[in-house]
A and B are shown apart, each in its own frame.
Chain A
Amino acid sequence: MDITSILYPVLCVGGLGVVLGAGLGYAGKIFEVKEDPRLEQVLECLPGANCGGCGYPGCSGMASAIVSGKAPVNGCPVGGAKSAAAIAKVMGVAVEETAPKVAFVKCHGTCDKSVNKYVYEGISDCAMANQLAGGGAKGCSFGCLGLGSCVKACAFDAIHIVDGVAKVDETKCTSCGNCVKACPKHLIEIVPQAQQTRVACSSQDTGKEVMANCQVGCIACRICEKNCKFDAIYVINNVAVIDYTKCKDCGLCAMKCPKHAIENPKAIAMAEKLAQNAAAKVEAAKKPAPVAEAPATEAPATEAPASSTSSEHIND
């Protein structure tokens, strides 16, 4: 075999690569364009996760948009106030305060509280399961399938499957919105972190069907709607929806909800405490007291300080 039949191709293609590479390197020097030095500084202040939560293609796209003034300095939902302050320093502008936001999974139908139609043993992916008959194994066709598509989508390890339902770790969540896009059931919503009153159900089934499938589903009874003093909660398509611009976070709806489908840690703890007190009273008096009335009359009074602090926050 002639050695040249190997040598020529290797030298030719290798040489071509070297020549073109060197040429490009040289051309890079000649055609060097001075970029705005702020671009690199802004890019350093951004988290670098390239999640696309800001609506620009990656962090570098966001940086150039900020430098050219197209995007606000606090446009990065992931970096939050910290990166906004750093970028504002680079850009020499004052930063506007933004309320931190988090993702929230609108389903609390955990394994013990909801029923399944069948046992799903397919690929562990929500979109895959959602294509099956009835939209997955869960009895409620609107509920969290718990197969973790959102967990895979999260770049910040902030969402996990707990008891068969996705739960957001609010300390880690950056509200980038990747899980929102990943959820085939459209269960995840970006909500203001300060507002703790949230409807943890998105079932549009009628009350009867919800009752059959889930212990904590919204049955569209409208008790929350009637009790809200701020006109902030409405039942739309058989599920309660909170208007966060109006909600004062008083937690009354959460206490009144017969299915505990509305989340509010303060109100639920308070309700439990009151129920315990009432039960203790009943125990002490040994007579059937009107248990249901007791928490209802006390609730607004006990919640008053909490609601005033949260309304202060809204006025900011």
Chain B
Amino acid sequence: MDQLVQPNLIMLILFAIFVNNYVLSQFLGICPFLGVSKKLETAVGMGVAVIFVITLSSAVTYFVYHLLLVNLHIEYLYNIAFILVIAALVQLVEMFLKKSSPSLYQALGVYLPLITTNCAVLGVAVVNMQNNYTFIASVLNGFGGATGFALSIILFAGIRERMAFNNIPKPFQGFPIALVSATLMSLAFLGFQGLIQL
């Protein structure tokens, strides 16, 4: 087995938030990014729920991969195994929150089950695996990536809220203008490229 890698942890988090932003540089998790960014309030809910789930799933998928798949030499099954684990994990988290913290459950609402289909969750798990990160690096990479997602969706929701009051030409109303502004945000984040070398 390859040697596990543990880069500078602070750099890793910053790298995941800005340089390797899952939405704006990797183009993962675009559906919630476009779907739940109409209001700042819902975007914050989605962002928090994603941070929660991705951090947790990075930890769990680390163990599933290194203890189960690697030991049995069936690494090629990682996609199926990760999807299974993430889906079950989201369900478990939902149940747990419903019981222990109804207010948080209410606040996250429908976004919690929606995360199951967020490809950024799987993306983070796969990146952790491919880069051979240690457990701590995996969790922090997950946390950083999810924070990056939350950051971009919240910024985007702020832009869309202001955009709603603007006089947008008819062919651009709705999703077209949202996609144009997402592109511009992505270009802006391109400026972070090369800022940090891991």
Please give the residue numbers on chain A whose beta carbons come within 8 Å of chain B beta carbons, in ascending order: 8-9, 12-13, 16-17, 20-21, 23-24, 27-28, 30-33
In the bound complex, residues from chain B placing their C-beta under 8 Å from that of A32 are 99
Which of A9, A20, A30 is close to B88, meaning CB atoms less than 8 Å apart?
A20
Q: How far is the CA of A23 from the CA of B85 in the complex (A)?
A: 11
Secondary structure dominating the interface of B: helix
User: Given A12-B77, A16-B81: A31 and B96 within 8 A (CB)?
Assistant: yes
B77 touches A31 (CB 8 A): no
| 17 pairs, A vs B, C-beta closer than 8 Å | A8-B73, A8-B74, A9-B77, A12-B68, A12-B72, A12-B77, A16-B64, A16-B81, A16-B84, A16-B85, A20-B84, A20-B88, A23-B88, A24-B88, A24-B95, A31-B96, A33-B98
Smallest CB-CB A-B distances: 6 pairs: A31-B99, A20-B88, A31-B95, A8-B72, A9-B74, A33-B98
Q: Which of B64-120 contact A (CB under 8 A)?
A: 64, 68-69, 72-74, 77, 80-81, 84-85, 88, 91-92, 95-96, 98-100, 102
In the complex, the answer to whether B85 meets A20 with C-beta atoms within 8 Å is yes
Residues of A within 8 A of B77 (CB): 9, 12-13
Q: Which residue of B lies closest to A20 (CB)?
A: B88
Residues of A within 8 A of B81 (CB): 12-13, 16
Tell me how far the C-beta of A88 lies from the nearest C-beta in chain B, rounded to whole angstroms: 27
A90 CB to closest chain B CB (Å) equals 23
- Which residues of chain A are near B92, meaning CB under 8 Å? 23-24, 27
Chain B positions within 8 Å of A12 at CB level:
68-69, 72, 74, 77, 81
Closest Cβ of chain A: how far from B163's Cβ, in Å?
A: 24
How distant is the Cα of A28 from the Cα of B72 in the complex, in angstroms?
Answer: 30
**Minimum CB–CB distance for B42 against chain A, Å:** 14
Measured between C-beta atoms, what is the minimum distance from B150 to chain A in Å?
A: 24
What residue of chain A has the Cβ atom nearest to residue B95's Cβ? A31
Chain A neighbourhood of B85, CB < 8 A: 16, 20
Given A16-B85, A33-B102, output 20 extra A-B contacts at Cβ < 8 Å.
A9-B77, A12-B69, A12-B72, A12-B81, A13-B77, A13-B80, A16-B68, A16-B84, A20-B88, A21-B88, A23-B88, A23-B92, A24-B88, A24-B91, A24-B95, A27-B95, A31-B96, A31-B100, A33-B98, A33-B99
User: Complex formed: what's the CA distance from A294 to B137 in Å?
Assistant: 93
State the interface size on chain B (CB cutoff 8 A). Answer: 20
Q: In the complex, A114 Cα to B84 Cα: how many Å?
A: 59
Partner-A contacts on B (CB < 8 A): 64, 68-69, 72-74, 77, 80-81, 84-85, 88, 91-92, 95-96, 98-100, 102
Alpha-carbon separation in the docked complex, A63 to B73 (Å): 50
- Nearest CB in chain A to that of B69: its residue: A12
Shortest B113–chain A CB gap in Å is 13
What residues on A are CB-neighbors of B64 within 8 Å? 16
**Bound-state Cα–Cα, A27 to B98, Å:** 12
Measured CB to CB, the nearest residue on chain A to B102 is A33
Closest to B110 in A: A57
Question: How far, in Å, is B109 (CB) from chain A's closest CB?
Answer: 11
Complex-state Cα separation, A24 to B74, whole angstroms:
25
Give the distance in Å from the alpha carbon of A259 to the alpha carbon of B81 in the complex.
69
Residue of A nearest to B94 (CB): A31
- Bound together, the chains give a CA A57 to CA B68 distance in angstroms of 41
Nearest Cβ on chain A to B90's Cβ, whole angstroms: 10
Contacts of B72 in A (CB 8 A): 8, 12
**B-chain residues with CB within 8 Å of residue A30 when the two chains form the complex:** 99
User: Which listed residue (B68, B73, B95) contacts A28, Cβ 8 A?
Assistant: B95
Chain B: CB-nearest residue to A57: B110
In angstroms, how far is the closest chain B Cβ from the Cβ of A180? 19
**B98 CB contacts on chain A under 8 angstroms:** 31, 33
Distance (whole angstroms) from the CB of A30 to the closest CB of chain B: 8
**A17 contacts which chain B residues (CB < 8 A)?**
84
